[in-house]
Chain A
Amino acid sequence: MEGFLIFAISILTLAFVYVILCLALNIECGVAGMWDLGIVSYFGVGAYSYAIIVAPEAASYQHYLFGLESNPIYGIVLAIILGGVSAYLIGLPSLRLRREYFLITTIAFSEVLRITFSNENWLTNGVAGIYNIEQPLKSYFSPDNYIVLLFVIFLCFSVIVYKMVNKLSFSTYGLSLKALRENEALAKTARIEPSKQYHSVYVFTGCLAGFSGALYVWLNTLIVPTQFTPNVTFFVWTALIIGGIGNNRGAFLGAIFFVILLETLSFLNLSAELALVVSSLRIALVGLALILILRYLPNGLLREKPTVL
């Protein structure tokens, strides 16, 4: 296959991982209106759960728990479950807080988790990370075909998640979340219980983020703690804002637009020195795009659709 095509396909495959993360953030922050800057926590938990299930047993110079080399499906299921569980646990103290206070607690938890990942060597092999995690089904296909297969699988996953999130945000449940977002006191009078609704949507977000974490490791075949800095959170938020917060289609498009924006420049064939400069410039480009979009399209590319019953 041609180089450019392979490149485009692998960029889009990565974008689909972000799509799932972005949709998860959208139902939590766009629909329910919570200010969560800690989505990377569950992304990381999911990624590590998948990694320690699927990775082969630790070699003598490595340390990590399990290394069961077992079926990736178990890895994905565990990632979803543990993503949800960690969201449930983190939600217990932090959901008592609102807005800025909630924001800071979630970001603090995500940093504590990242620091734990990089220091608890027995569990995660520390800063060295875990490498060569085998990709499921890889042996049955030629490398070129496998890239296409991965593209199709991830596309299906993200479309399924999109359908699910979309269905949920227009269900009675989704409407109750929107009611809470618009006016919590009024929503209470309609027998909507804030703490229950917030906690459940938080766990749901955790499950989805855990799932996308597992896919992320599947795609990358390696995992290191530096992949899970608050930067990921800001990236996903940026993608969501670009696409249009509150709009699921916007979240989908925003994630793809964002990844393309971020990765396109890396296709240019450059000398090592120039490549460093360009890699910095593309961060600047993302910043500029965000500023301009917020200035001229404050609602993002697609604005939230008004809910009609």
Chain B
Amino acid sequence: MDIFIYGLVTGSILLICALGFSMTLKTEGFINVAHGQMLMLGAYFTLGLTYIGLPFLIAAFLSVLLCGVTGLAFQRILFKPIKSNGILVQLFTSVGLAYLINGLVGAIAGKRMLSFDIPISRVVKVGDVYLVTPYEFMILGIVLATVIFLHIFLQYTIMGKHIRAVADNQDLAKIRGINPDRCSDLVWFIASSLAGLGGIFLGILGAVHLNMGWQQIVMILSVTVLGGLGSIYGVMLAGLLLGFAMEFGLLFVSSNYRTAIAFGVIILVLVIRPEGLQSLWQSKGRET
């Protein structure tokens, strides 16, 4: 039972981290390596804001917004001007950006492991079963709310429909009078705020350190590819699946191999089904 819950928590954090990444991949068409650093930035923003005296929840909320604005700024300053230069140029600009963010944060905050100043919580006990800590419970709730919100936003609002249209076919969307730049801006804002949120979750459950972005981006990449590139719902499923796989795998191998299990799963799935999980419900494969 606890394995199930751990899997759920690990999976939903992965899901939140990968959702934003997957959205930029879908609309902008390139792999944004700096997304991992946005996670770290979210955690460090929160740390900085609590340091100057704000209560934790307010600091967390503000840093999610701050991350969104920072992401928007990156889109305007860095990525929009080079959009016509191809995927590899955009990909490596984001690698450069990742180094830049990582270096600057390291210079300001130092390389020590840090953690949020929140009280240690105890596991809630229901009957005879130990369930989750309140923090984990809160995280699950927020993740669920975010996913539902995102689903409603993308499926039922005008802006959401525009974003999906641009993601499917930018030229056709333009002909219909949709402004792709505005959609890009919005996607960057949402994606970066989601990254910030994911980073804060990681910080709550573990520690805040300089390498968290690099560690996570590899996992995020895996989740995204496993879900089928850029498919939002595929990513959700893949995140949960990997979360469970990592926790259940621990029954068989030592905990040092936790992430290796995840990569093993990815390799296996890709070799059997190169289109990712998405292909389970979409029979026609699309050329990327």
Chain B nearest CB, measured from A100 CB (Å): 6
Contact with A along B82-120 (1 / 0, CB 8 A): 100110110011011111111111110011000000000
Contact with B along A229-247 (1 / 0, CB 8 A): 1110010011001000100
Contact of B93 (CB < 8 Å), options: A119, A230, A281, A290? A290
Whose C-beta in chain A lies nearest to the C-beta of B272?
A: A93
- Whether B82 contacts A108 by the Cβ 8 Å rule is no
- Whether A283 contacts B103 by the Cβ 8 Å rule is yes
- Bound: A230/B36 CA distance, A: 13
- Whether B96 contacts A290 by the Cβ 8 Å rule is yes
Q: Is B49 an interface residue (CB 8 A)?
A: no
- Whether B103 contacts A115 by the Cβ 8 Å rule is no
Chain A nearest CB, measured from B81 CB (Å): 7
Chain A interface size band reads: 35 or more
B-side contacts of A112, CB under 8 Å: 260, 263-264, 267
- Whether A101 contacts B214 by the Cβ 8 Å rule is no
A-side contacts of B70, CB under 8 Å: none
Among the listed stretches B135-143, B173-181, B197-205, B251-259, which one makes contact with chain A, having 4 or more residues with CB under 8 Å of it?
B251-259
- Whether B260 contacts A282 by the Cβ 8 Å rule is no
- Per DSSP, are chain B's interface residues mostly helix, strand or loop, or mixed? helix
- Bound: A108/B107 CA distance, A: 30
Q: Is A291 an interface residue (CB 8 A)?
A: yes
- Whether A230 contacts B274 by the Cβ 8 Å rule is no
Contact with A along B171-212 (1 / 0, CB 8 A): 000000000000000000000000000000000000000100
- 28 CB < 8 A contacts A-B: A93-B267, A94-B270, A94-B271, A97-B270, A100-B225, A100-B229, A104-B225, A104-B270, A107-B221, A111-B263, A115-B259, A116-B260, A241-B88, A280-B102, A280-B103, A280-B104, A280-B210, A282-B103, A284-B103, A285-B103, A287-B95, A287-B101, A287-B103, A288-B100, A290-B96, A290-B99, A294-B89, A298-B85
The chain A residues found within 8 Å of chain B, CB to CB, are 93-94, 96-97, 99-101, 103-105, 107-109, 111-112, 115-116, 118-119, 229-231, 234, 237-238, 241, 245, 276-291, 294-295, 298
